[in-house]
Amino acid sequence: MALMNRPAFKAIKSYSPCKPALIFVASRRQTRLTAMAFVSQLVTDDDPRQWLHMDMEELEQLITTLKDENLKLTLPFGVGMHHAGLQQHERSIVERLFVEKKIQVMVATATLAWGINMPAHLVIVKGTEYYDGKTHKYIDFPVTDVLQMIGRAGRPQFDDSAVAVIYVQDIKKNFYKRFLYEPFPVESR
């Protein structure tokens, strides 16, 4: 997963330099690690706050209401996080900042794809599997979940074009290419 951070960062800068980008990851931990990796790359960039589109005073007031220390570190760079481990109040703030385009990048767990209407110009799916602690193995996301994630890109009422990027193991590339680009047979009874 860590190997996908630099390509994801470059994809944001390339495909969505000024528009909202939504990055889906498999776990709360990956949400934090990905957001912090983006901040680490932004710090060395010419414009480290390029993804923040709001007044620092307004942001500082919001940050005082947060408990999550990682969120306090990432928001000043325009990078939000969204996962079940955050308090509802914190999730609401991050959602509002993203929808109002005050922060440009949101790193979230897959559950966000089903939860709320949060469109983006760019959607990145950083891996198509998650670790199941009960069985101690990696499980593929259902294809419907992956479709729901990439479906957050380019809602007609918000944007006239969009980009979806799926990072997947080589062994699964052909499956996703076929699934996305070729018609599937449908049966009706």
For the chain, give the percent of residues with pLDDT over 90. 69
Which residue range forms the structural domain that includes residue 135?
19-181
Q: Which of 3, 100, 92, 12 is nearest to 50 (CA)?
A: 12
Q: Distance (Å, rounded) from C-alpha 112 to C-alpha 107?
A: 10
pLDDT number for residue 184: 67
CA distances from 16 to 25, 28, 65, 88, 161 (A): 18, 24, 30, 28, 11
Which CATH number does the domain housing residue 154 bear? 3.40.50.300
Structural domain count, the chain:
1
pLDDT at position 112 is 77
* In-domain check, residue 83: yes
Is position 148 within any domain?
yes
Q: What CA–CA distance (Å, rounded) separates 28 from 85? A: 7
Tens digits of residue pLDDT in 150-160: 988 887 777 78
